[in-house]
Each structure stands twice: as C-alpha cells, then as structure tokens.
Structure 1
C-alpha cells in the first residue's frame, strides 16, 4: 500500500471516529466485488464514491466484513479527498482474513466533509 493511500485511510478513520449513525454520505457510496483470482484469494471490494454535491468534498468510508451470522470480523477505512462535483473515486477495501469462512462486505459508515 502506498504512503498516500495509507495516509488517506488513516484520515478517513479519524473523520469517522465521532460520526453517529451511518453518516451523511451513504447514498454517494456503493461496493463492487473483485474476483478473488485478481486479489491473491483475498476478499476485496471497490468502494465507488461519487460526489453528488455542487461543491468539492472529501469522503471517509468504513467497510465492515461480516461472517454468515452478520458478525463484524474486520473493518477497513478508505477515503477520497477533494473530489470535484460529480467526480468519482474508487479506492479498494481489502480484507486480510482467510477466505474460509466466506465474508461479505457492507458500507457501515460514509461521511462527506
């Protein structure tokens, strides 16, 4: 992971620390899975972030990886900074957990700031 990506991810985690509920930007965020054949067998999702406002904005997103019972097994944070209106970013959230048992990903929080 590049230093810039790591810095953005830490900034996202910091931004989400005091957010109650799901945040103000869940409608601007969706997930797309990547085939495990492209990720060395790891569960990875593309976090699709689109700035739907008419001003530049930054985004912080928390992705939870859940087991079959819905228990959070791992959490990852990603961010996108200074997106122009209508601009899109697609950071990756990658689980470090083994492929078995299978996990699913969901957007737990998304905050525009």
Structure 2
C-alpha cells in the first residue's frame, strides 16, 4: 500500500473518532435534565432587571383620581352622619321639652282649684341639687312616692321666694300612673337669675 494513502486513511479515522466523541458528549449533556441528584450543578437563567427608565415615582392619574374620590366620599359620609346625629339630638331635646311642657300644664290645671297644701304633701319630699352640678341654676329634685294601694297620678306646685319671703316664681310638675310603692324624681328648675338667692317651697301636692 502507498504510504501516503495509508497516512490519509488514519487521519480520516482519527477525525471521525473525534466527531463521534464530541457528539456523544453533547448527547449526555442534553439528556441529563431530570432530577438526578448525582448530576452536576444545574444551570439557571439570570433574571432580567426591570427597566426603570419609564418609572416616574408618581401614581398614574387614574389611580390618583380614584383615591381622591374615595377620600372625598368618606368625608361626605362622615359629614352627613354628623348632621344626622345633630338633627336627631335636636329632635330628642324638642321632644323632651314638649313632654315637660305638657306635664307642667296638666299639673297646673289639676292644681288650679286645689287649696294648699293638697292631699299628698306627705308623699312628696324635696331636695336641692348643688349649683356646682347645674351651672349655677337653682334646681329642685322632687321625690314623689305613691304610698297608697292603688295607681295614682300627682301634681306638684313649687314656689320660689326671695330673701324677703315674696314669691317671685311658681313652677308646676307631676307624674302620671305611679304604681303602689313606686317613686319618681322629677326636676323643678328656676328660670330666675342666680342672684338674689331664692328659696324653694313645696306649696301644693295633689294625688288624683
């Protein structure tokens, strides 16, 4: 055999072996993708950093508008609730005032033809509230107790006297449908100035 031809054949065989070896290595790498703990270190892709060039640091206008609208709605709701509470309180006070006036007028009418002291003076006691607790207003607490065996209503007259003993103010109050042994404590409030100091007097008490 020609030596030159032999050397060319050996070179071709060696080149083919190198190619086969390389292809085998590639096959091994591509097949080793399972969860084989005996394999080499897994290769993962590096995360891509966000593009901050378009960040302005401010909320989008649509989000900002929605937030402002929500805040304004909450303020409006709070304002409406406060107004409703104020209206209810005003109604409550008006209702109490109307009831006090009705009771006062009924007691005054009941006592119109009654001579002092009436038939129930021993069922009514009178005490004063400290002026420090009433803002300086003269206020009397009546303790009306039904000492009978039947339900009864009471009308009471309280006079306020000045230092000379002159009656300068008269107030009426009462309670209705008081059961046997029951007690109520209505208030009688003077509308006179704090000076001169007045003295309250239990003038009439009528059970009816």
Residue 129 (structure 2) aligns with: 34
The structure 1 residue matched to 2:197, chosen from 102, 108, 111, is 102
Structure 1-normalised TM-score?
0.95
Where do 5+ consecutive residues of structure 2 fail to align? 1-92
C-alpha distance in 1, partners of 2:201/2:163?
13
Higher RCO by CA contacts (8 Å cutoff, separation 6 or greater): 1
Residue 100 (structure 2) aligns with: 5
C-alpha distance in 1, partners of 2:158/2:182?
21
Structure 2-normalised TM-score?
0.53
Aligned residues: 113
Residue 185 (structure 2) aligns with: 90
Verify: 1:14 aligned to 2:109, yes or no.
yes
Higher Cα radius of gyration: 2
C-alpha distance in 2, partners of 1:100/1:21?
28
Root-mean-square deviation (Å): 1.0
C-alpha distance in 1, partners of 2:116/2:101?
25
